[in-house]
């Protein structure tokens, strides 16, 4: 890391819920701490601080343009979602919808993180998230 001309990868961390003090946001804390400790530049997309539009609704697109710009500059993305009623959160899907089609996530390496109670964890929400992200062209690690 001390090599000349070395530039750390820029990471975008996406919180897939707007619920205050959620378990999902808490699960991201050690990841964010590691990024900080290792001086990895990162951006956090927190939907509770955004006003994103539902598909087909006209309005102020500034926040959508902001998150598109953040994600397009990322070298990698960490995408988190809670599991609500056996599915990824509507908030996570809304973020994806606001990233355009073709999506700025296309070609981006991504790690996904799911949070849920129960013995199966977030297996259903992660399966859905992986399917949607793969469909729009993201490279969900560790791969197929």
- Ordered domains of the chain (ranges, CATH): 11-140 (3.40.50.360)
Band of residue 2 on the pLDDT scale cut at 50, 70, 90: low
Helix orientation angle between 123-135 and 90-97, rounded to the nearest 10 degrees: 10
Beta-bridge mates of residue 44 = 13
Q: What would the pLDDT profile of 31-74 be if each residue is shown by its tens digit?
A: 999 999 999 999 999 999 999 999 889 999 999 999 999 999 99
* Short-list 29, 35, 32, 28, CA closest to 9: 35
Q: What is the pTM of this model?
A: 0.92
Q: 111-136 pLDDT, tens per residue?
A: 999 999 888 889 999 999 999 999 99
Q: How far is CA 119 from CA 3, 80, 81, 123, in A?
A: 45, 19, 17, 10
| Cα–Cα distance for residue pair 52/68, rounded to 1 Å | 12
């Amino acid at each position: 890391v001390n090599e000349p001309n070395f530039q750390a990868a820029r990471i975008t961390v996406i919180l897939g819920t707007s619920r205050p003090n959620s378990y999902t946001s808490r699960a991201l804390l050690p990841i964010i701490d590691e990024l900080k400790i290792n001086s990895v530049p990162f951006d956090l997309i927190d939907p509770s601080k955004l006003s994103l539009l539902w598909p087909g609704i006209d309005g102020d697109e500034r926040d959508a343009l902001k998150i598109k710009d953040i994600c397009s500059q990322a070298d990698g993305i960490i995408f988190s979602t809670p599991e609500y009623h056996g599915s990824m959160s509507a908030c996570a899907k809304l973020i994806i919808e606001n990233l355009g089609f073709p999506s700025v996530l296309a070609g981006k390496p991504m790690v996904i993180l799911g949070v849920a109670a129960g013995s199966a964890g977030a297996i259903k929400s992660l399966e859905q998230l992986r399917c949607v992200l793969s469909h729009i062209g993201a490279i969900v690690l560790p791969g197929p």
